[in-house]
A and B are shown apart, each in its own frame.
Chain A
């Protein structure tokens, strides 16, 4: 070790590394995973396994044989993409669709742009939206929770948001509330939906763990959830007959999963606090606009992808201060 390494500053090191951060996120996903397995049983296990294995495999194959660069498939990012992709798919989706989604996530979402750190869009969401547009029927037939041993043959039902989208106009919000699970069920996750998005309380535990470990900061999730609550709250106060209340909006759909895990992806979110706040507020507004006024019952996936595209712009306007730069007054 008598070699002198010459490198540009800064020379300060931390023990953080890509795998360490990725595994931190994975640990925080464990409670939500447990809840999802509790409600969707074998389907959740199959979808998660297929998704993780396919993501790692595709990353390896693409890097080794197409890009011809040293494979980084074991740095944890592909595993995490696979996990998050599985979390936002219905637990009864055929395994070959999961593989197509994994290929879209890794191939189109990540490797086309040059791999980890260069992708503009969140790979897991690219995979989800790819499947959502490609196989709309399979991606909107959600299994009813509690069927442990059934996979693709599980009975399907509507999501709470879907029930509201279909019913509003002819029925009032009050009548529709009778048809959806109660708040306790929504809170623990006993409702139809994508495999991992239902576990509201477990996802919140994951958020607290990540905040405690300083894996992410509070800015993005809190501004997204706050904006959604505020915006839906205003709509609800204006017309409670035809709008669901803010708590319902917070507890249903992919909002928790999106706000906590998708929008906070390091590569595709802004670098500065100010940028993060603006990014979060706009995701919240877009989500509510799509949910309430759009054609789809859920909009958080599109909102995050749309805002992903604005991240370079946000980074440009809210540059991190350069270390040692003279502060200008006036």
Chain B
């Protein structure tokens, strides 16, 4: 398999958020700023890569009928690791992401990749797939976070360029839906151009 293709499909062509609409709960929930989006995206990427790696490693040792519980345990383990490490070393980001970190366990992207890709492919391909999917997810969340932060708070990555407040709607949940809708339009346009 062409590994570049394997990696790059997650960025746009099969992007988890913009194309497959997976993992929308954290996508809408945490992206009030670009940093939050990036943090969530990187945490998810770590879990994706690690769970894909482990699932690909032990896929032949796991009986078919218990593969889903086994995958869930593996994913939950890595999520808990992320949670504890974040709490210890970046408590501010942990406070901002809050409940959404443990919720990575139920992010469809993670289980979806374990089930649909890692359990059928070798270790290297699975890691690259997890990396591509995770970075695509992180890019989408960062883009959405950046748009919402620029419009809603008048700042980008915490750097304020506007005195006072922006359009608060974009910090609030309805703004997340509106901004995501228009980003999906853009992504579709981009996709149509590249293929």
Would you call B25 an interface residue if the criterion is a C-beta within 8 Å of the partner chain's C-beta atoms? no
Report if A171 contacts B (CB, 8 A).
no
Q: How large is the interface on B (under 10, 10 to 19, 20 to 34, 35 or more residues)?
A: 10 to 19
A130 proximal to B (CB < 8 A): yes
Number of chain A interface residues as a range:
under 10
Residue on B nearest A66 in the bound complex, by CB? B185
- Contact indicator A135/B167 (Cβ below 8 Å): yes
A134 to B169 Cα, complex, angstroms: 5
Complex Cα spacing A130 to B166, Å: 12
Name B166-194 residues within 8 Å CB distance of A: 166-170, 172, 174, 178, 181
A133 & B169 in contact (Cβ 8 Å cutoff)? yes
- Which residues of the partner chain A approach B181 to less than 8 Å between Cβ atoms? 112
**Interface status of A136 (Cβ within 8 A of chain B):** yes
Contact B178 A134 (CB under 8 A): no
Q: Which residues of B contact A130 (CB under 8 A)?
A: 167, 169
In the complex, A130 Cα to B179 Cα: how many Å?
Answer: 13
A-side contacts of B170, CB under 8 Å: 134
A135 touches B178 (CB 8 A): no
The answer to whether B167 and A136 have CB atoms under 8 Å apart is no
Q: Taking the complex as formed, is A100 at the interface, i.e. its CB lies under 8 A from any CB of chain B?
A: yes
- Asked whether, in the complex, the Cβ of A108 is within 8 Å of the Cβ of B178, the reply is yes
Which residues of the other chain, A, contact B169 by a CB distance below 8 angstroms?
Answer: 130, 133-134
Q: Is the CB of B178 within 8 A of A133?
A: no
Q: A183 CA to B166 CA in the complex, in Å?
A: 39
Nearest CB in chain B: distance from A152 CB, A:
15
Q: Digit string of B139-174 for contact with A (CB within 8 Å is 1, else 0)?
A: 000000000000000000000000001111110101
A residues near B, CB below 8 A?
100, 108, 112, 130, 133-136
Name 16 extra pairs, CB < 8 A, besides A133-B168, A133-B174: A100-B167, A108-B178, A112-B181, A130-B167, A130-B169, A133-B169, A133-B172, A134-B166, A134-B167, A134-B168, A134-B169, A134-B170, A135-B165, A135-B167, A135-B168, A136-B168
**A-B contact list, 17 entries, CB within 8 Å:** A100-B167, A112-B181, A130-B167, A130-B169, A133-B168, A133-B169, A133-B172, A133-B174, A134-B166, A134-B167, A134-B168, A134-B169, A134-B170, A135-B165, A135-B167, A135-B168, A136-B168
